A = this chain, B = another copy of it.
């Protein structure tokens, strides 16, 4: 789904500076969100206090889709860039889908895609060695051999379940080996 719901749904735009939260876990969930500008990470914290990034929503993507039928959010949403977020009341979205089957259909396609991404992420996290895990992640994220790091390496680490130090070290090693090339917030796969 590329575009939000035209003008048939009352929406509200939020300006969210980097590091600020859009919503928090356990807050009552009332809205479907859309990233008009910037980026947002969806974060869960394990018992140990480790930050697990279950998803990064970039410009043009929805998030909190899974909470459409929930009463509470089950993760934190935090901006990783200065962002503009549009939010749509859940009930209106649901009503909209009921009245516009084609849109519901599109949404099904979108959700199916999300599931595929999550499965891929599960596959990545299950790779034992840090180096292979990072490589698999890079390959799965790469567009034309280039991966854009959203915000920080720390976020990358949180997505694939490694300590950030490990990621730094392995990225350096990979660069030494000539497998990748870091350039600012981009990583090229050679």
Q: Using a CB–CB distance below 8 Å, which chain A residues touch chain B?
A: 42, 44, 46-48, 50, 52, 54-55, 65-70, 74-75, 94, 97-98, 101-102, 104-105, 107-109, 111-116, 118-119, 121-123, 125-129, 132, 136, 161
Say yes or no: B109 contacts A69, CB within 8 Å.
Answer: yes
Say yes or no: B112 contacts A118, CB within 8 Å.
Answer: no
Binding site secondary structure of chain A? helix
Counting chain B CB atoms within 10 Å of each CB, which of A69, A97, A118 scores highest?
A118
Say yes or no: A108 contacts B48, CB within 8 Å.
Answer: no
Say yes or no: B127 contacts A46, CB within 8 Å.
Answer: yes
> How many copies of this chain?
2
Say yes or no: B115 contacts A111, CB within 8 Å.
Answer: yes
